Amino acid sequence: MTIATVNPTTGELLEQWDPLTAHEVNERIGRAHSAFGAYRLTSFADRAGWLRATADLLESDIDGVARMMTTEMGKTLAAARAETVKCAAACRFFASQAESFLADEEVLGADVGAERAFARYQPLGPVLAVMPWNFPLWQVVRFAAPALMAGNVGLLKHASNVPRTALFLEELFVGAGFPDGVFQTLLITTEQVEPVLRDPRVAAATVTGSTGAGRSVGAIAGSEIKPSVLELGGSDAFVVMPSADLDRAAEVAAVARCQNNGQSCIAAKRFIVHDAVADAFERRFVERMEALRVGDPLEASTDVGPLATERGRVEVEELVADAMAKGATVRCGGARLDGPGWFYPPTVVSGVAPGMRMFAEEVFGPVASVLRAADLDHAIELANAVDFGLGSNAWTDDRAEQERFVRDLQAGAVFVNGMTTSFPQLPFGGIKGSGYGRELAAQGVRSFCNLKTVWLGTGRREADVARSE
């Protein structure tokens, strides 16, 4: 795949790059390796200062950063601005919290025959981050802010359609004062990922992307006995029960499905509605989806911009065609928009059922599958009947039902009467085909650390005997 910026609104090729040569990649890994030698010894205060400067830089040009993302992958300018602001906030959060998340974990020395004993978090080294284009700034900052605070260094292989954002990220961290080599962007192809990860100077990997990419990189990491975090695709359920506020549920459902032009791992994708309210919910949902304005993502009035790639639109079309051939009904949308750019309208497909590709696969575009459930157990069964387990949403005012969803939905998160989202304060990640490991919160900072057991004795017989008595 070529490494190029193509504006999805117009289809125009704006700029392209040659991938780094093997020699250049080797040189950059060397820089990362030697940078780690000194960076691991820097103080939390220094790292926090550089990360706060990163936040300052982002906040000093929110519009410029947002425009870069919008012209590169098509998200609306408002969404791109919000992403930039969120990244700055995450940098500040980890700058202030990482040291306490990584504090030594003390145990009672006497219990283990030591004068003092504790576990200490220490960084692992250069971490290879394989990242997707859909939140081109956030996905990288979500990895980098905690990882750099922990004393690791980063090597970024970004998606091949967002090279401008990829190069900007290196400039950003360097501009904020992080020492040379602490964060580098590698403009490389997927084929070049394997030799980087097998290089003994690279300590670990993190992947945010499709299940296929995660399986492949995770297998290489496993064969090298290197830790990995996999944040992969999702097909989140959005369950609506009779006690839910249907107007509010339908309003949030449309946003949850169409956020980021329908290209979010945690977008609600399968709407599982109790029979008793199915017609009433679907009517409201279709109205909300039809009301969304599709257009130029740089225009303030636009709710939904183009899909990021031409191939992505074809994949969405194929999934909709498969569902229709197997008996589903398109309630709104359902056909690409004529003209330049890769536009596809908000679409509701009713009567989706197991056996259709849309049921089992991730639909990466503004297309909602609607399914009906006979009761609570059936709703949970449908929600869990896929290989993904990232987020999930349940709409009900009934406390007992809420407890059932919290207990039984197979997912890394459950949001009750709200849509799945991420916060620096809460852990984020999936189960099943959606991956393993967690980002954000304390877990995110600890992900790429060696938890070293430290046992301190005196080495003097009298003291040891006294302690063991």
Binding site for ligand NAP (CB under 6 A): 1, 130-134, 139, 157-160, 189-190, 193, 208-210, 213, 216-217, 231-234, 265, 362, 364, 390, 430, 434-435
For residue 450, give the H/E element and its range.
strand 449-456
Most distant CA pair in the chain: distance in Å? 86
User: How many other C-beta atoms lie within 10 A of the C-beta of residue 328?
Assistant: 21
d(CA 316, CA 333): 12
Q: Among residues 187 and 278, whose Cβ is nearest to ligand NAP?
A: 187
Q: Among residues 109 and 427, whose Cβ is nearest to ligand NAP?
A: 427
DSSP 343-398: ----EEEES--TTSHHHHS---SSEEEEEEESSHHHHHHHHHSSSEES-EEEE-S-
d(CA 446, CA 451): 8
C-beta separation of 91 from 62 below 8 A:
no
Question: Residue 208 — φ and ψ, nearest 5°?
Answer: -120, 120
d(CA 337, CA 341): 9
Q: Among residues 179 and 195, whose Cβ is nearest to ligand NAP?
A: 195
Six-digit token pair at 133?
């284009």
d(CA 336, CA 112): 67
| Residue indicated by tokens 């992958």 | 73
d(CA 248, CA 252): 6
Query: What is residue 362's three-state secondary structure?
Result: coil
Nearest-approach distance from CB 234 to ligand NAP, in angstroms: 5
Nearest-approach distance from CB 415 to ligand NAP, in angstroms: 15
C-beta separation of 388 from 434 below 8 A:
yes
C-beta separation of 235 from 388 below 8 A:
yes
Nearest-approach distance from CB 143 to ligand NAP, in angstroms: 10
Verify whether residue 105 is a known catalytic residue. Answer: no
Q: How many helices (H) and strands (E) does the chain have?
A: 16, 20
Nearest-approach distance from CB 233 to ligand NAP, in angstroms: 3
Nearest-approach distance from CB 140 to ligand NAP, in angstroms: 11
Selected catalytic residue, list 91, 258, 265, 449 = 265
Query: Across-strand partners of 431?
Result: 389
Q: Among residues 3 and 246, whose Cβ is nearest to ligand NAP?
A: 3
Handedness of CA 389, 391, 395, 398 (dihedral sign): positive
Q: Among residues 123 and 233, whose Cβ is nearest to ligand NAP?
A: 233
| Residue indicated by tokens 């990360």 | 51
Nearest-approach distance from CB 191 to ligand NAP, in angstroms: 8
Q: Among residues 210 and 421, whose Cβ is nearest to ligand NAP?
A: 210
C-beta separation of 97 from 116 below 8 A:
no
Selected catalytic residue, list 72, 83, 224, 231 = 231
Q: Among residues 102 and 267, whose Cβ is nearest to ligand NAP?
A: 267
Six-digit token pair at 3?
């490494």
* Residue with nearest beta carbon to ligand NAP: 209
d(CA 7, CA 309): 9
Nearest-approach distance from CB 1 to ligand NAP, in angstroms: 5
Verify whether residue 231 is a known catalytic residue. Answer: yes
Catalytic residue set = 231, 265
